[in-house]
């Protein structure tokens, strides 16, 4: 896949405080990258730097292999964004806001499809000043997607959205990603980030502390077994490179592949250890993030 966004060693300092420190990441065409981390981690600052809204001290940002800086803003023509609050006019209706931003769009059908997907017809002709937070968010998201940008940057787009709207947003992001649109998204709703992202970057104190594919989460499963001899079972698992923990009379351990689990269980049975109970659960994105932040 072709790279749409590349950030190398980005640094941002404010009043001698490091806001971003040597941040590097890349985003391929059609990929959804999720930025997660605590408040003040630097997520919004990073997005604002990419969009040219905030100056940075050093580092490089390339969009479509073109340097993006104060002197060359033209790469941003292919970027849509929603940062903090939607840039909409409250004294205009939703439709008037869309007309204001979309009058030069070549394809009205794309806009109509988005409006239908988000089911905005019932309030599109009302003034935005009377919109709820969720209504404003959906309007801001549609504005970010106008003109089919190659890169879309969304900062906390799920704020104020009800469960149905979250589902609509997931569907739109997945559909556009399949067509080649790339997304850089930040949110505190970890469960949603796990569902929509291809890759997760964990940011804390302005530094990237972890980066991984969400597909890897399914490989990190916790197996729980209760045997006739947990102590002997623990020893046998250790010989196979599996570290187990005894908790509430059950052995807990992680295995990345089914083949490794099958081999481990065969080893226990071969050594006349009865397995009374077995269960499993996936390691959630929330578990991984908190583990990274705690260490």
Q: Are residues 150 and 238 in the same domain?
A: no
Domain extent for 204: 3-216
Q: Where are the beta strands (DSSP E) in the chain?
A: 3-14, 17-28, 32-36, 58-63, 66-67, 79-82, 151-155, 182-186, 199-204, 207-213, 221-227, 245-247, 250-255, 275-282
Same domain, 125 and 75: yes
Same domain, 119 and 39: yes
CATH code of the domain containing 266? 3.30.70.930
- pLDDT for position 264: 84
Q: Tell me: do 162 and 51 sit in the same domain.
A: yes
The pLDDT of residue 77 is 80
Tell me the whole-structure pTM to 2 decimals: 0.81
Q: What is the CATH number of the domain that holds 175?
A: 3.40.50.300
Instruction: Note whether 119 and 245 are same-domain residues.
Output: no
| Same structural domain, 81 and 227 | no
Do 259 and 119 share a structural domain?
no
Looking at residue 73, what is its pLDDT?
61
Alpha carbons 50 and 73: distance in angstroms, whole number: 11
Whether residues 265 and 143 fall in one domain: no
Q: Which helix (H) or strand (E) holds 119?
A: none
Along the 295 residues of the chain, how does pLDDT read in single tens digits? 568 999 999 999 999 999 999 999 999 999 999 999 888 999 999 999 999 889 999 999 999 888 876 556 667 788 999 998 888 999 999 999 988 887 655 567 888 888 899 999 889 999 999 999 999 999 999 999 988 899 999 999 999 999 999 999 999 999 999 999 999 999 988 889 989 999 999 999 999 998 888 877 766 678 889 999 999 999 998 888 888 888 888 888 877 677 778 888 888 999 999 999 888 766 667 766 766 666 6
85 and 134 together in one domain: yes
Are 247 and 286 part of one and the same domain? yes
- List residues bridging with 155 in a β-sheet: 186
Helices within 1-132 (DSSP H only): 43-50, 94-102, 108-117
* DSSP tag of 55: -
Residues 83 and 36 in one domain: yes
Collect contacts of 208-216 with beta carbons under 8 A, ≥24 apart. 208/23, 208/24, 208/25, 209/292, 209/293, 210/288, 210/289, 210/292, 211/25, 212/288, 214/34, 214/285
Residue 256's pLDDT is what?
Answer: 64
- How many independent structural domains does the chain possess? 2
Residues 75 and 150 in one domain: yes
Last residue of a domain, one of 184, 216, 248: 216
């Amino acid at each position: 896949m072709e790279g749409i966004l590349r950030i190398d060693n980005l640094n941002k300092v404010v009043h001698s405080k490091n806001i971003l420190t040597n941040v590097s990441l890349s985003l391929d065409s059609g990929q959804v990258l999720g930025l997660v981390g605590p408040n003040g981690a630097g997520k919004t600052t990073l997005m604002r730097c990419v969009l040219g809204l905030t100056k940075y001290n050093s580092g490089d940002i390339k969009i479509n292999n073109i340097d993006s800086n104060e002197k060359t803003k033209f790469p941003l023509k292919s970027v849509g964004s929603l940062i903090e609050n939607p840039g909409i006019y409250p004294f205009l209706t939703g439709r008037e806001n869309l007309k204001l931003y979309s009058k030069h769009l070549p394809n009205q059908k794309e806009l109509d499809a988005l409006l239908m997907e988000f089911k905005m017809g019932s309030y599109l002709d009302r003034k935005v000043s009377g919109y709820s937070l969720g209504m404003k968010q959906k309007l801001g998201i549609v504005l970010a997607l106008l003109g089919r940008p190659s890169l879309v940057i969304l900062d906390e787009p799920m704020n104020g959205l009800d469960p149905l709207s979250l589902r609509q947003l997931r569907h739109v992001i997945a559909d556009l990603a399949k067509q080649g649109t790339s997304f850089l998204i930040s949110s505190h709703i970890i469960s949603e980030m796990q569902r929509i992202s291809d890759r997760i970057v964990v940011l804390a104190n302005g530094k990237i502390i972890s980066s991984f594919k969400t597909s890897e989460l399914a490989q990190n499963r916790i197996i729980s077994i209760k045997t006739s001899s947990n102590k002997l079972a623990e020893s046998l698992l250790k010989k196979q490179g599996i570290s187990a923990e005894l908790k509430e009379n059950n052995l807990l351990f992680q295995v990345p592949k089914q083949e490794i689990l099958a081999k481990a269980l065969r080893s226990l049975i071969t050594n006349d250890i009865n397995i009374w109970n077995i269960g499993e659960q996936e390691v959630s994105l929330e578990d991984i993030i908190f583990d990274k932040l705690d260490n």
